[in-house]
């Protein structure tokens, strides 16, 4: 019985419930041949954190993948995955890189 | 042990919890020249009055009623609870963060952004809605980060 309880508790701890906080999309270009994506996240315990700097990490990753080009059709997702007492806050962004 | 507990409580109360509500990233144009980061941040105090009333009731029952010159009935602490419920009902509805009492605090963010970009060519705009939360009181923040094309 106690083993079953431990297994259930472990499963509960490992599985997370995702909630989508916000989503946005900019104008999508005609040429959609070069799709790039980036994500950034941070972990917070009990929701206690003092910064939101991880968003900049996603921007920088996008910029690096489209240097000297124009990035349009950006889909931005901000989501939170809740585990037992721990939360994963994540920004996922994708877009189309156009280089002339 | 007691001192450590007090010090920890004070530290926890003084440090704010960051909250992230909304992130939007716009098109990023790196083809027209070097990008200079620019940023505008505006904040307004947000207050959860019903939570404050609840805390005040725990600290000193009927304190809020006395401040508002409302005579407490025979219900004792229930009167303060009713006030907290009333305040919660007044602020009921969909919302992001705590209510603020100035609905125009984010009105001029675009102008403030353009002031930082003499060329007027702004790209990579990030609209971020976040907050520094101190329990029932919070700083409701609107932040615009962008790049100015030189």
Q: Which pair of structure tokens corresponds to residue B77?
A: 């602490």
> What does the radius of gyration of chain A's CA atoms come to, in whole angstroms?
18
pLDDT of res. B11: 61
Residue A21 pLDDT exceeds 70: yes
| Whether residue B49 has pLDDT greater than 90 | no
Same domain, B36 and B108: yes
Q: Which residues pair with B1 in a beta bridge?
A: none
pLDDT of residue B83: 77
Same domain, yes or no: B133 and B114: yes
Q: Do B42 and B105 fall within a single domain? A: yes
Residues of B in contact with A49 (CB under 8 A): 17-18
Do residue B43 and residue B102 come from a single domain?
yes
Average pLDDT, chain B: 84
Better pLDDT: B90 or A42: A42
Range of the domain at B84: 49-90
Q: Give the DSSP H or E segment for B82.
A: helix B77-90
* Span B80-127, pLDDT tens digits: 777 778 888 887 888 888 889 898 999 999 999 999 999 999 999 999
- Cβ of residue B13 closer than 8 Å to a chain A Cβ: no
Q: How confident is the model at residue A78, as a pLDDT? A: 95
pLDDT (0 to 100) of residue B97: 87
B86 and B20 together in one domain: no
User: What average pLDDT score do residues B33-43 get?
Assistant: 95
Domains identified in chain B, total number: 2
Residue A70: list chain B partners with CB under 8 A. Answer: 27-31
pLDDT of res. B127: 95
The answer on B126 and B86 residing in a single domain is no
| pLDDT value for B126 | 95
> Looking at the predicted structure, is the pLDDT value of residue B74 above 60?
no
Residues 54-73 of A with CB under 8 A from B: 55-56, 58-59, 62-63, 66-72
Establish if B34 touches chain A: CB-CB under 8 angstroms.
Answer: no
Q: Is residue B107 included in any domain, yes or no?
A: yes
In a domain, B2, yes or no: no
Q: pLDDT tens across A80-90, in order? A: 999 888 899 99
Instruction: Take residue B140 and report the two structure tokens written for it.
Output: 């409701």
Could you give the CA distance from residue B5 to residue B140 in angstroms, rounded to a whole number?
29
Secondary structure (DSSP) of chain A: -HHHHHHHHHHHHH--EEEEEEEEE-PPPS----EEEEEEEEEEETTB-S--THHHHHHHHHHHHTTTSEEEEEEEEEEEEE-SSEEEEEEEEEEEEE--
Contact B28/A27, CB-based, under 8 Å?
no
Closest to B80 (Cα-Cα) out of B67, B61, B99: B61
Residues B86 and B148 both lie in one domain: no
Per the domain annotation, does B11 fall within a domain?
Answer: no
Confidence of residue B21 (pLDDT cuts 50, 70, 90): very high
**Lowest mean pLDDT, pick from A64-73, B1-10, B47-56:** B1-10
Same domain, B78 and B115: no
Task: Indicate whether B150 and B105 sit together in one domain.
Answer: yes
Q: Where are the domains of chain A?
A: 16-98
* pLDDT computed for residue B65 by the predictor: 65
């Amino acid at each position: 019985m106690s083993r079953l309880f431990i297994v259930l508790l472990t499963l509960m701890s490992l599985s997370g419930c995702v909630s989508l906080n916000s989503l946005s999309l900019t104008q999508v270009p005609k040429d959609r041949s070069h799709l790039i994506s980036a994500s950034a996240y941070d972990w917070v315990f009990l929701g206690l954190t003092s910064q939101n700097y991880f968003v900049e990490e996603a921007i920088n990753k996008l910029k690096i993948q489209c240097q000297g080009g124009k990035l349009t059709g950006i889909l931005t997702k901000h989501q939170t995955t809740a585990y037992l007492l721990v939360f994963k806050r994540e920004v996922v962004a994708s877009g189309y890189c156009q280089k002339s | 042990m007691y001192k450590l507990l007090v010090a920890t409580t004070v530290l926890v109360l003084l440090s704010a919890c960051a909250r992230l509500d909304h992130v939007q990233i716009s098109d990023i144009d790196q083809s027209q020249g070097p990008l200079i980061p620019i940023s505008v941040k505006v904040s307004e105090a947000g207050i959860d009055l019903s939570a404050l009333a609840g805390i005040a009731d725990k600290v000193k029952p009927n304190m809020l009623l006395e401040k508002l010159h409302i005579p407490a009935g025979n219900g004792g602490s229930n009167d303060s609870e009713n006030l907290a419920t009333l305040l919660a009902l007044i602020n009921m509805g969909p919302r992001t963060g705590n209510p603020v009492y100035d609905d125009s605090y984010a009105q001029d963010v675009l102008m403030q952004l353009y002031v930082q970009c003499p060329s007027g060519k702004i790209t990579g705009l990030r609209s971020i809605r976040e907050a520094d939360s101190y329990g029932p009181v919070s700083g409701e923040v609107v932040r615009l980060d962008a790049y100015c094309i030189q």
